[in-house]
Amino acid sequence: MTEFRDSIDDRAESAMPRGQAMRTAKLASLPLGIAGRAVGGWGRRLTGQSAEEVNAALSARAAEQLFEVLGTLKGGAMKFGQALSVFEAAVPDELAAPYREALTKLQTAAPPMPPRQTRRVLAEQLGRSWADRFARFDDEPAAAASIGQVHRAVWHDGREVAVKVQYPGADEALHSDLRQLQRFSRLFQALAPGTDVKPLLSELAARMNEELDYRTEAANQRGFARAFDGDDQVLIPKVVASAPKVIVTEWVDGTPLATIIKEGAVDQRNEAGRLLAEFHYSSPARARLLHSDPHPGNFMLLNDGRMCVIDFGAVARLPQGAPPMLGVIMRLALEGRSTELLDALRAEGFVRPDSELDADDVYTYLLPLIAPLTSDRFHFTRRWAQKQALRMGDTRNQDFHTGRSLNLPPNWLLIHRVTAGAVGILCQLDAELALRSIVERWQPGFAA
């Protein structure tokens, strides 16, 4: 009888809803709700409300629903929301404010699982005497992630640590969510203009298994920590202990990038952007790894001027470093060598064999994207991101048709997604920095 009661309690207190029918229904409510509000909006337009008033109301309600559904479901739904949040800078200003607040919440907020359930996972992963490893353990989570939550604690040797505990049922929910979201990928396109949502979801799905085993994340983090040990610009917290569903790392206090985006001073924004770009471009050379979960919740500015990077569940392994052809393509576009640029793209598989493309059209399409490399310093702004999104999404524009004729080879998909995510954060920061010098120093094939 006791075991039966415990099983009922477990289901009642579960932090991650696992019923597939329930999760599917909630995810389906997103596109249905967006469509329903659009119909209602037309009705209000007919009754005399202005387009601006209707759009503002629709945007606010869509953002509220987006956070409620993706945040409370966690799993793949929340992971998708976090990935989408870095492209918020490309949303037009009149629609962006509600999404900005809702998507930012997804980077750090989610309903916690109850203490009893947390302790049960810790006992399963670290043994029944798990509490003896800690001098103190806070039952109240300090932060939440897509598949786990983080608790602050003190290790038995006195070190302050962060303990990430995976939600029970995370694997089941993760795969179910991403399959369902892929069905609605076109309807989510409006949330990130200029971003192809379907490949983003496919790539997230392909990497989910790696993120579910925290031992893999621990190995990734140890690799980064070795590469940046003693660095005066980047801090990677050291791993203290790990198990398949629990990882313990050093605790670090700092100012999250989300806070700097919201209220940081100009010099703080610029420095955060510079450090982020330095970490992104130097990692393949220094660690032979690329941090592949670029959203503001994974970066903090420390009081000593360094940037702390956390969450290494998604990592690209680059044993040869960044591909030199990426630098070559950048350089050819920068120098206006359109014919050689098209040849290089074709050789790498960016051009489908049956596509007939004009070299000058391809050059014109790519030139605005390398604008950050055309001067000693570049100011990353939301306006610039929005302009690129509109340019690539306007069916009346030649750039739209050129972009549709290009192909993104599978081996480039992750690098492209992570770089786009990093640029999205730079635009949210409104950062001005000397990106060209950073690329020249770290990207093979770029220097003349």
Q: Is the pLDDT of residue 186 over 80?
A: no
What integer pLDDT is reported at residue 436 of this predicted model?
A: 97
pLDDT category of residue 107 using cuts at 50, 70 and 90: very low
What is the arithmetic mean of pLDDT over 247-268? 95
Q: Check whether residue 307 and residue 380 sit in a common domain.
A: yes
Out of 1-10, 56-65, 74-83, 260-269, pick the least confident.
1-10
| 200, part of any domain | no
Q: Is the pLDDT of residue 7 over 50?
A: no
Q: Check whether residue 232 and residue 263 sit in a common domain.
A: no
Q: Check whether residue 236 and residue 301 sit in a common domain.
A: no
Contacts of 395 (CB under 8 A, 6+ apart): none
CB atoms under 10 Å from CB of 299, counted, come to 25
Q: Check whether residue 352 and residue 331 sit in a common domain.
A: yes
Range of the domain at 267: 254-448
| 72, part of any domain | yes
Residue 172 CB-density burial (10 A; 0-12 exposed, 13-18 middle, 19+ buried): middle
Q: Is the pLDDT of residue 207 over 80?
A: no
Per-residue tokens: 140: 């109240």
Torsion of the alpha carbons at 331, 337, 339 and 345, rounded to the nearest 10: 10
What is the arithmetic mean of pLDDT over 217-229? 97
| 176, part of any domain | no
pTM, two decimal places: 0.76
What integer pLDDT is reported at residue 91 of this predicted model?
A: 58
How far apart, in Å, are the Cα atoms of 140 and each of 90, 120, 143, 153? 36, 15, 9, 10
What integer pLDDT is reported at residue 427 of this predicted model?
A: 93
Q: Check whether residue 417 and residue 319 sit in a common domain.
A: yes
What is the CA angle 432-98-260, rounded to 5?
35
As a whole number of angstroms, the distance between CA 382 and CA 171 comes to 35
Q: Check whether residue 141 and residue 162 sit in a common domain.
A: yes
Q: Is the pLDDT of residue 261 over 90?
A: yes
CATH number at residue 221: 3.30.200.20
| 198, part of any domain | no
| 199, part of any domain | no
| 45, part of any domain | yes
| 274, part of any domain | yes
What integer pLDDT is reported at residue 52 of this predicted model?
A: 45
Q: Check whether residue 186 and residue 325 sit in a common domain.
A: no
Q: Check whether residue 315 and residue 346 sit in a common domain.
A: yes
- Each residue of 294-325: pLDDT tens digit? 888 899 999 999 999 999 988 999 999 999 99
How far apart, in Å, are the Cα atoms of 168 and each of 142, 153, 171, 172, 243? 18, 21, 8, 9, 14
How far apart, in Å, are the Cα atoms of 410 and each of 195, 199, 285, 326? 17, 10, 21, 14
Residue at which a domain ends, from 230, 250, 270: 250
Q: Check whether residue 366 and residue 403 sit in a common domain.
A: yes
Q: Check whether residue 371 and residue 286 sit in a common domain.
A: yes
Q: Check whether residue 326 and residue 407 sit in a common domain.
A: yes
Number of folded domains in the chain?
A: 3
- Each residue of 125-184: pLDDT tens digit? 999 999 999 999 999 999 876 688 999 999 999 999 999 999 887 777 666 666 666 665
What is the arithmetic mean of pLDDT over 39-64? 43
Q: Is the pLDDT of residue 400 over 80?
A: no
Q: Check whether residue 128 and residue 243 sit in a common domain.
A: yes
| 125, part of any domain | yes
